[in-house]
Amino acid sequence: MMAEVAEPLVDAMVAGGVRVLFFASGSDVMVFQEEIARREAHGLPAPRLVPVLHETVGLNAAMGFAMAGGGVAAVAAHVDVGTLNMGAAWHTLRRCGEPVLILAGSPPTSEPGVRRGGRDHPVYWLQEPVDQRTLFRPYLKWDWRLSSFDNPGLVVSRALQIARSEPSGAAMVTLPRDVVMGQAPDLPYPDTGRLGLPAPTHPDPEAISRLARLIADADCPMIVTGASGRDPRTVPLLTELVELAGAWVTESGWRERLNISSRHPMLATGPALGAADLVLVVDRHIPWVPDGGPDAPPEDATVAWLGRDVLVADVPIVEHPADLRIPCTTGNGLAALVAALRDAHTPVTRRRAQARLAEGRRRRAALDTRQDAEAIAAPGSPVDPRRVAYELGLLLGDDAILLDEAVSNAPHVRAHHRGGRPGSFFAQSGSAGGWGSGAALGAKLAAPERDIVLASGDGFYWFGSPGAALWTARHAGAPYLAVVFVNGRYSTGTVQAGHFYPGGYAEAAGFPGGVFDPPPDYAAEAAAAGGWGRYIDDADQVAQALREGLARTREGVPAVVAVRVR
Ligand SMILES: Cc1ncc(C[n+]2csc(CCOP(=O)(O)OP(=O)(O)O)c2C)c(N)n1
Ligand SMILES: [Mg+2]
């Protein structure tokens, strides 16, 4: 029998490093069910097909998988409708830049009876939005619509080459049903390795030595990052740089990765950026709001950018200044800077750096003591969110992975995170609520031996189709613990609305549209999806419930602890 097109597609996926396919059902992408089952039946290598009950969970799971070190992941979804159902996860994908291959079905255009997979149902006329690719192109790095003249294996190899190359991102192959069910051409094709991935890049040595001298001479050097830790190997390098430079580090409320140990003396203990005379931006999209306020560097500060995308090229208008922009693979840039700073330091500048580091140590100790004391002393019912974050911090082992989508309570979650292990903290780089449940599921598949814990706001939690994610977590063996901060409201519709319309009509009416109280029963939903759920509203029950939830996940059952917070 002649092979169908799905065969070289999957073959090239395997060769290109795809180990998992998050799959949401459709009458086009069903070809992957058949092809993967065929391979498994014959003992041939195949990506693992992970069924997801909602496309947005599938795409978020692919990102979580890649973030947690699983490598490039693939997602398959039906025509326009299934692909649109990925919804806000498209935005997240664009901003996170994780390598993901999207396989989107598309309706056949062959007339009835002419070709296998052709139009045999009225929907195939209705599902043609003229040019499906344009719906998603703003979020993609690369896309192609497969035709029957293409070499299918080459198309996938090329898609994976682009997706995996830095700065990595999303590649989509649109698959018309009659094309993908057609016979595969008997053509050889290169795999992604043969096409080749670009080597890591090194920074310009002159720019690095100039920057090193500027850092050594600065009175108040500050580093802003957010995502430098996306390559876990950078964490010890950033730490070394920070300690050698005596530089303050800020993530200014936007921490996408563990960049430096959560309780490092120089992290979040320094002054506002307005006090800096030198600012180094490392892998951070928008490091401050350029409003001339105390949280933005002063006009005369030296500003340098270093890392994977120093132009922030995927944001159209960026007015942030720079004296130096040094493009490089972040780890190479940091290593070069550390070496250059060793040379640039004089005994005087080194002593000043050490004095700042010593000051950071004092501040860190005081900060930790104060934060912990506040969390313990906080009133008990409804629970103070600081207490939840504190207990979570105590619960997590160093190798646990924490995913943060806690919105207004995220600062507490970050403050009480105690971990220092690279690759142990993730938040999304975009703003699309609902990332967490899918991402937690994907992370668990990538790192099955680690505890995976999601901290989420209740509004964002519900945005992410949690029931669909929990079902897959249960049945695909990818259990995680979700800790939901239940306040029955969106801070956008309450705090923000109250800020801009103080004493206004919305406030007087109790913020309709901002409040959803009583909130959904997240614990009951977990049970309905095959998980374990617990709702609590007393601070003294938090630690026990979290421990119990985590224990369930270690037994293979996804768990939800919904805590009523103030
Ligand atoms: C998909 C999506 N819809 C809407 C928003 C706008 N938004 C930003 S924060 C927020 C509130 C989140 O509520 P919740 O998760 O309950 O956290 P809380 O504000 O209570 O801390 C909303 C609706 C968004 N970012 N993403
Ligand atoms: Mg809320």
Residue finishing a domain among 336, 362, 388: 362
Q: Say yes or no: CB of residue 489 within 6 Å of ligand 1.
A: yes
Answer yes or no: do 17 and 91 share one domain: yes
Residue finishing a domain among 138, 172, 195: 195
In Å, how far are 142, 282, 539 from 190, measured between CA atoms? 18, 35, 59
Between the CA of 323 and the centroid of ligand 1 the distance, in Å, is 36
Between the CA of 405 and the centroid of ligand 1 the distance, in Å, is 9
Indicate yes or no: pTM above 0.85. yes
Q: Does residue 129 sit within a domain?
A: yes
Q: Does residue 318 sit within a domain?
A: yes
Q: Does residue 124 sit within a domain?
A: yes
Handedness of CA 103, 106, 110, 115 (dihedral sign): positive
Q: Which atom of ligand 1 is nearest to the CA of 88?
A: 1
Residue among 56, 43, 54, 52 nearest 20 (CA)? 52
Answer yes or no: do 181 and 281 share one domain: no
Residue 29 is encoded by which pair of tokens? 């992408």
Q: Are strands 73-77 and 100-106 parallel, antiparallel or unpaired?
A: parallel
Answer yes or no: do 266 and 120 share one domain: no
Answer yes or no: do 469 and 558 share one domain: yes
Answer yes or no: do 277 and 145 share one domain: no
Show the domain range for 223. Answer: 205-362
Q: Which atom of ligand 1 is nearest to the CA of 407?
A: 21
Q: Say yes or no: CB of residue 463 within 6 Å of ligand 1.
A: yes
Per-residue pLDDT of the chain (566 residues; tens, 9 = 90+): 579 999 999 999 999 999 999 999 999 999 999 999 999 999 999 999 999 999 999 999 999 999 999 999 999 999 999 999 999 999 999 999 999 999 999 999 999 999 999 999 999 999 989 899 999 999 999 999 999 999 999 999 999 999 999 999 999 999 999 999 999 999 999 999 999 999 999 999 999 999 999 999 999 999 999 999 999 999 999 999 999 999 999 998 889 999 999 999 999 999 999 999 999 999 999 999 999 999 999 999 999 999 999 999 989 999 999 999 999 999 999 999 999 999 999 999 999 999 999 999 999 999 999 999 999 998 888 999 999 999 999 999 999 999 999 999 999 999 999 999 999 999 999 999 999 999 999 999 999 999 999 999 999 999 999 999 999 999 999 999 999 999 999 999 999 999 999 999 999 999 999 999 999 999 999 999 999 999 999 999 999 999 999 999 999 999 999 999 99
Q: Say yes or no: CB of residue 496 within 6 Å of ligand 1.
A: no
Q: Which residues pair with 263 in a beta bridge?
A: none
Answer yes or no: do 285 and 327 share one domain: yes
Domain count, the chain: 3
Q: Which residue out of 462, 491, 566 has the highest number of ligand 1 atoms within 8 Å of its CB and is therefore the one to mutate?
A: 491
Between the CA of 322 and the centroid of ligand 1 the distance, in Å, is 33
Output the domain CATH number for residue 457.
3.40.50.970
pLDDT at 1: 59
Answer yes or no: do 383 and 259 share one domain: no
Answer yes or no: do 400 and 510 share one domain: yes
Answer yes or no: do 178 and 45 share one domain: yes
Q: Does residue 348 sit within a domain?
A: yes
Q: Say yes or no: CB of residue 565 within 6 Å of ligand 1.
A: no
Residue with the smallest CA separation from ligand 1 atom 22 is 492
pLDDT at 105: 98
Q: Does residue 367 sit within a domain?
A: no
Answer yes or no: do 145 and 220 share one domain: no
Residue finishing a domain among 176, 195, 214: 195
Give the closest ligand to the alpha carbon of residue 517: 2
Between the CA of 489 and the centroid of ligand 1 the distance, in Å, is 9
Q: Which residues pair with 565 in a beta bridge?
A: 383
Residue 407 is encoded by which pair of tokens? 């919105």
Q: Which atom of ligand 1 is nearest to the CA of 462?
A: 15
Between the CA of 509 and the centroid of ligand 2 the distance, in Å, is 18
Q: Where are the alpha helices (DSSP H) in 30-98?
A: 30-41, 55-65, 80-84, 89-96
Q: Does residue 373 sit within a domain?
A: no
Residue 565 is encoded by which pair of tokens? 């917070």
Answer yes or no: do 486 and 403 share one domain: yes
The size of the chain, in residues, is 566
Between the CA of 383 and the centroid of ligand 2 the distance, in Å, is 14
Give the closest ligand to the alpha carbon of residue 385: 1
pLDDT at 551: 98
Q: Does residue 200 sit within a domain?
A: no
Spell out the residues 6+ positions from residue 42 whose beta carbon is closer than 8 angstroms to its own: none
Output the domain CATH number for residue 279.
3.40.50.1220
Between the CA of 431 and the centroid of ligand 1 the distance, in Å, is 9
Answer yes or no: do 171 and 239 share one domain: no
Distance, in Å, from the CA atom of 511 to the CA atom of 509, rounded to the nearest integer, reads: 6
Q: Does residue 370 sit within a domain?
A: no
- Is 99 within 8 Å of 169 (Cβ atoms)? yes
Q: Which residue out of 407, 461, 483, 517 has the highest number of ligand 1 atoms within 8 Å of its CB and is therefore the one to mutate?
A: 407
